[in-house]
Structure 1
């Protein structure tokens, strides 16, 4: 999977992953991170998520990273925000309005300062298995020592459904974030009425994780 895949999804408006309201797991578990208003928040592969606006009501510095310029422009247009835009060349730009700054570019290469807390709803599960270790390492490099990550994942038999979104089970979460304190906040096993189960998937669960990075040694 390459950048063109995601550019095509946005260009064709095939964005079933986009939610029209703030994610319920974000609302339920954000307080578990113990983040203050001054803590900076990173949202990788943010799309045009409503979650950005919800986070900006609670934090002074919300930093999104998104590959698609269509998604970034749509976020600001749909909220009637007029951002300041700084072009950075090679198709990259920074869009900024009040508490929200979105870097439009490749998550693996954009220049972003490490943040205090991270919210990942749809980034890790958008990565094919071959890229997940590289992604997790990059995410941890952008999280300050002692930082916290609210991570949302899916767990289902991968052979029964093509991703994205991909299945990332507990064992893989533990391997990707080895050395961190990892807490399962919730596992929601969907019943047969869930759309994915109606596609013939034998089981389908959404999980919320709290990842706490090590603090610097004194």
Structure 2
């Protein structure tokens, strides 16, 4: 993952990956995690996602990790929140407001107490193949035994489009999360009207997974 790539995307406001509403996948499948109000939620590569606010209405602590300071500051300013800002060293800064905490900096350098549940809509698919194993190892180290992950991936012919977002097949999900219980919740196959299909992809699907740690 090239940090400068993501910094430039946010600096130039080229953030087509950002959704202007809560992701319907989150609202539909979050109940499958059976998460209580007291469960701590982790959202890696959170950007300025409105999903953070939806989760904060249902959980006492929601922790985001985001590389771009522009994205973090935008999240709080667009919600009219004034966060507490705590420099942590090692290039990281913690922003806190009520239930939401966002660590701004390198995900791989982030140190937090293990969480109960994870929502990964945009992190794994942002990783090139060479970094996915390292990312999943880091992610799993941040989750308690018995924790659950709601994971969203994309499936398309990688040769037809440069990532990110990258294609992560079901076979790769099984390999990356070997040892966990994996449930395939949904495959949403895009028709020809989908923007990605109109840009030349022969097929494009969004897939949703429930990952349960032993």
Same fold (TM over 0.5): yes
- Name which of structure 1's ranges 84-93 and 157-166 shifts more when overlaid on structure 2: 84-93
Unaligned runs of 5+ in 2: none
Task: State the partner residue of 2:178.
Answer: 178
Supply the distance in 2 between the matched residues of 1:180 and 1:91 (Cα, whole angstroms): 33
Task: State the partner residue of 1:143.
Answer: 143
Task: State the partner residue of 2:123.
Answer: 123
Task: State the partner residue of 2:96.
Answer: 96
- 1:110 deviates by 1.3
Task: Give the TM-score normalised by the residue count of structure 1.
Answer: 0.97
Task: State the partner residue of 1:55.
Answer: 55
RMSD: 0.6
**1:111-149 deviation per Cα after TM superposition (whole angstroms, max 9, x unaligned):** 111100000000000000000000011111111100000
Task: State the partner residue of 1:160.
Answer: 160
Task: State the partner residue of 1:17.
Answer: 17
Supply the distance in 2 between the matched residues of 1:141 and 1:92 (Cα, whole angstroms): 19
- 1:78 deviates by 0.2
Task: State the partner residue of 1:108.
Answer: 108
**1:143-196 deviation per Cα after TM superposition (whole angstroms, max 9, x unaligned):** 110000000000000000000000000000000000000000000000000000
Supply the distance in 2 between the matched residues of 1:143 and 1:159 (Cα, whole angstroms): 33
Supply the distance in 1 between the matched residues of 2:18 and 2:200 (Cα, whole angstroms): 23
**1:50-95 deviation per Cα after TM superposition (whole angstroms, max 9, x unaligned):** 0000000000000000000000000000000000010112431000
Supply the distance in 1 between the matched residues of 2:22 and 2:120 (Cα, whole angstroms): 13
Supply the distance in 2 between the matched residues of 1:35 and 1:204 (Cα, whole angstroms): 30
**1:14-63 deviation per Cα after TM superposition (whole angstroms, max 9, x unaligned):** 10000000001001000000000000000000000000000000000000
After TM superposition, the runs of 4+ consecutive aligned structure 1 residues lying more than 6 A away are: none
Task: State the partner residue of 1:87.
Answer: 87
| Aligned residue-pair number | 214
Supply the distance in 1 between the matched residues of 2:97 and 2:88 (Cα, whole angstroms): 17
Task: Give the TM-score normalised by the residue count of structure 2.
Answer: 0.99
Determine if the alignment matches structure 1 residue 67 to structure 2 residue 76.
no
3-state SS of 1:8 partner: helix
